[in-house]
Structure 1
Amino acid sequence: MKPASVLALASLLAVSCQSKKVQETHQQHPNVLFIAIDDLKPMLGCYGDSLIQTPNIDRLAQTGVVFTNAHCQQAVCGPSRASLLMGMRPDFSKIYDLKTFIRDKNPDITTLPQHFKNNGYSTAAVGKVFDVRSVDQHHDSLSWSEPYELLEGSNPIGEGWIYSKKRISTEAPDVADSITVDGKILMRGNELMQQLSRQSKPFFLAVGFHKPHLPFVAPKKYWDLYDRNDFKVHPFQEKPENAPGFAYQPGWEIRSLYEDVPKKGKIADGKQVELIHGYHACVSFIDQQVGLLLKQLDDLGLRENTIVVLWGDHGWHLGDHDMWCKHTNYEQSTRSPLIISYGSKFKGSNASPTEFVDIFPSLCDLSGVNTPAKLDGTSLLPIMSGEKEKVKDVAVSQFHRNGNLMGYAFRNERYRYVVWFKSKFKQEEIGPFGEDMIVAKELYDYKKDPLETRNLIDDSAYTSARKEMEQLSKDYFQKSVKLVQN
């Protein structure tokens, strides 16, 4: 055999061995594609919405497990993402606002992507994964093995307008997806996926999309998917009967930032319908970007050995209770989409209470990476495998008011119980949780009153349900105090 032929054969064998090594490495530990979507409520076809057009996310749901009763830990971007990515509840992470850096309060914390990096993964991110107001200029540099890029045009509250020079709440420009920031995030995400797929290590790739965050700006073709006449204002636009006034919020975000929305008073029905239309358009726009991201995964032959996690960082009020945006302990604010797909291994849906702090230990279990000892969540793998119907009795969310009130919401399969504590609220402390500090309670029945029209806490017909939920809350607080003491 000629020397050139020998060299060629040796080269071919070397490439074959390297390919086999990469394949074996990826078989040992699956990749993770971590898709974060800003302000996405579970208004998706796979969650039972018949009007929204989300074919790509719906197809993903058909290959995985849809958690239909999943809740964030605090319904605002920074604290929700910090809690999820640290695996810690806000009372332990001490991240309650949009200005506190996670490592100022938790200098020794190991984040979810950092933990995977420490366990042999290449980790990379593009778009909004952490909230930029919670981390350093490199999007928490310790979390990533590939340098994080803040794409031009990105900003802390989501990308704005294509043409408008005014601060308006909606825009429908006739442009290509590729000129939008989310279009650029998609393209960069696909580039990173290609790059990471060529490495010998498994990868953890986080892709964070900005929409449907306000302003509702999406290319015109996504607005054209819908007939505005099909949209109606929310049927219940009152405060819940007997609910404490401070539990409500008047839509600070939308009223203060956008000049085409009144600062006070009722938003006209026509404007409400326009906003609802805009939200739908933005969700369909992001659905298309998700579809292209998943197509890249398929084209690279990686789907079967990749865990795909898709989540929205919290819910969103679209006019219910005359509320817009998030920042509450109500259902439309805390309930969030969560879909986990791992090749063809798990399928179905589950309505038991689950939480975003459960994602960290779940990914560890699914990938074969050791689970850190101090995490506040519970792995969802027993649900996904069919071993258990549920792994916890309640999902817990919290939101504060006026600097001296903290409300905790406890959601099981049927009820939401909210207890409000009065204290000199400080980030350095947890609690107190004493009965003498309680200033208000709320109870809602989603079987008989899914729109939360009435606080049932004093209704004698719900005495048993109230006692059950109160006991679950007491168990939670007792466990929290013990964790702090230890």
Structure 2
Amino acid sequence: MLFCAIIVILFLSVEGEKKNVLFIISDDLRPQLGAYKELNLGPSFTPNLDNLAGKSLLMKRAYVQCALCSPSRTSFLTGRRPDTTRVYDLKHYFRDVGGNFTTIPQFFKNHGYRSVGMGKIFHPGVTASNNEDPLSWNNFYHLEEDQDLSVSWRAVSKAERLKDPLIDELVVAQAKTSLHHLARERRPFFLAVGFRRPHLPFVFPEEYLADYPATQIQIPRNDYAPIDMPSIAWSKYPELRSYHDIGALNVTGNLNTTLPDQIVKDLRRAYFSSVTFVDAMVAEVLAELEKLNLMDDTIISFIGDHGFSLGEHGLWAKNTNFEDNVHTPMMIRVPGKTDRGVVTNNLVEFVDLFPTIVEAAGFPPLRQCPERSSQVYLCTEGKSMVPLMTDPDAQWKSAVFSQYERPGNIMGYSVKTDKYRYTEWVRVSEKASSNSDMADVVARELYDHENDYQENVNLVDHHDKASVVASLKQTLHGGWRPIHTDLIGK
């Protein structure tokens, strides 16, 4: 009995040394934060997230693997790319179509943590995640929002919110309650908090409109499709057009059409206000963490699940491979490592998040997935970013990858390098498990990010870019593995 008691005490001691993890996701968040002001995306008032960024490893160039909720979330929560998870839409569940992969919260649950989630973490619903992937959690709190399609945005009064709190206010309340319960336990925790905003409809407290006077809201200067862009790259933004106020305008979403100027300004102002609302909600969760004296014992990760277009190129929402859709915020605070703030301009991917959090929490590094990993429960197709916390300018990935599916079995594979984005739209008879099946090319794109960061001109057929296209084609077809092999030992 004495021996057993000693073992239990040693176990609790070791577990007590592990860092907690607070994992925060904002839905449809482009880099609309003060910490990314150099991108000139429009006005932003996000003092709390900017403060967190100043104590974190801030990734200025972080890219999702797919600009759609379920494929992106499935990818970064499993640390595997869409061609491995086999999730390209909102209808399929990775455990049914890809494999019984270990997720981030499941990893910590399996290692003695209390795994608790709330809000939107996986894409909700039976078909997309079996209702938020039960294997990942000890406890999950389902907080649903009514799907009201009447208006695309709404500023809500304080009186209305007292009677009927907004979904993200309910998420914050549950996060605070959960933190109090977790603080009393004798083991570390993984707490995932998923905010709904700034996802459509843009619903937020009306006081945040004051941060964005109507006179400050501008129409994007590039409200036209990129010159020589193939039509397959376009999206008719059906999500936004499904709202009754937008549908009443009889907009088609067709190439080189756009919304009326005032509607554009109103939507942009509402989106910006929703972002500031999320900033305030994050602040409340962090304040509770501080109040409970847990800040020094907790790793904090904050991300968006993908970017969002607000009229740039005349586009709205997501569903493309454009920079506006695949570039999104990422920051990770690790007590004792990032306290003074670390900024990196290295290219990173959202599949890098899983191995980074695992290593930062003190566990052995995850091993890289083999070529065929459907039967491998735990591995990663990303690369731990922990080395960037001490050397943000270290030699790192030379390229990052995204993809998006179009009807007719057409997949758009995109590679982003330091200077360029190159995309091939490929007809595939069956979803490839790698980039190897890329012979039937339907269309191509090349954007010069050094001179045209907004991606306004497709240069793929310009003769002076032939050598660039050839090099990028080789990189795209080679996929991510050679990129990671170049980093072995770094």
TM-score normalized with structure 1 length: 0.87
Instruction: State how 1:254-273 maps to structure 2 within 5 Å.
Output: 254-261=240-247, 262=249, 263-264=251-252, 265-273=257-265
Per the TM alignment, residue 62 of structure 1 is displaced from its structure 2 partner at its CA by 0.3
**Alignment-mate amino acid for residue 170 of structure 1:** W
Per the TM alignment, residue 102 of structure 1 is displaced from its structure 2 partner at its CA by 2.0
User: 2:405 aligned with 1:400, yes or no?
Assistant: yes
Instruction: State how 1:61-460 maps to structure 2 within 5 Å.
Output: 61-133=53-125, 134-137=128-131, 139-146=132-139, 148-151=140-143, 153-154=144-145, 167-175=150-158, 179-261=165-247, 262=249, 263-264=251-252, 265-346=257-338, 347-373=341-367, 374-386=379-391, 389-424=394-429, 426-427=430-431, 429-430=432-433, 433-434=436-437, 436-460=439-463
**Alignment-mate amino acid for residue 337 of structure 2:** K
Secondary structure of 1:130 counterpart: coil
Per the TM alignment, residue 280 of structure 1 is displaced from its structure 2 partner at its CA by 0.5
Is the 8 Å Cα contact of residues 435 and 478 (structure 2) preserved in structure 1? no
Is the 8 Å Cα contact of residues 444 and 456 (structure 1) preserved in structure 2? yes
Q: CA RMSD in A?
A: 2.4
Give 1 or 2 for the bigger CA radius of gyration: 1
Per the TM alignment, residue 474 of structure 1 is displaced from its structure 2 partner at its CA by 2.5
The alpha-carbon distance between structure 1 residues 23 and 222, as it changes in their structure 2 partners (threshold 3 A), is farther
Residue segments in structure 2 that go unaligned for 5+ positions in a row: 1-7, 368-378, 484-490
Runs of 4 or more, structure 1, over 4 Å off, are: 18-24, 477-480
Is the 8 Å Cα contact of residues 400 and 480 (structure 2) preserved in structure 1? no
Greater shift in the superposed pair: 365-374 or 378-387: 365-374
Is the 8 Å Cα contact of residues 297 and 303 (structure 1) preserved in structure 2? yes
**Alignment-mate amino acid for residue 408 of structure 2:** G
**Alignment-mate amino acid for residue 346 of structure 2:** S
User: 2:25 aligned with 1:36, yes or no?
Assistant: yes
Identity %: 33
Per the TM alignment, residue 113 of structure 1 is displaced from its structure 2 partner at its CA by 0.7
Is the 8 Å Cα contact of residues 355 and 384 (structure 2) preserved in structure 1? yes
The alpha-carbon distance between structure 1 residues 313 and 57, as it changes in their structure 2 partners (threshold 3 A), is same
Per the TM alignment, residue 79 of structure 1 is displaced from its structure 2 partner at its CA by 0.7
Per the TM alignment, residue 394 of structure 1 is displaced from its structure 2 partner at its CA by 1.1
Is the 8 Å Cα contact of residues 160 and 217 (structure 1) preserved in structure 2? no
Per the TM alignment, residue 388 of structure 1 is displaced from its structure 2 partner at its CA by 5.6
**Alignment-mate amino acid for residue 355 of structure 1:** E
Q: Distance in 1 between matches of 2:481 and 2:119?
A: 38
Q: Distance in 2 between matches of 1:174 and 1:390?
A: 50
The alpha-carbon distance between structure 1 residues 82 and 192, as it changes in their structure 2 partners (threshold 3 A), is same
**Alignment-mate amino acid for residue 39 of structure 1:** D
Q: Distance in 2 between matches of 1:342 and 1:435?
A: 40
**Alignment-mate amino acid for residue 389 of structure 1:** A
Residue segments in structure 1 that go unaligned for 5+ positions in a row: 1-17, 481-486
Secondary structure of 2:359 counterpart: helix
**Alignment-mate amino acid for residue 195 of structure 2:** F
**Number of aligned residues:** 450
Is the 8 Å Cα contact of residues 382 and 391 (structure 1) preserved in structure 2? no
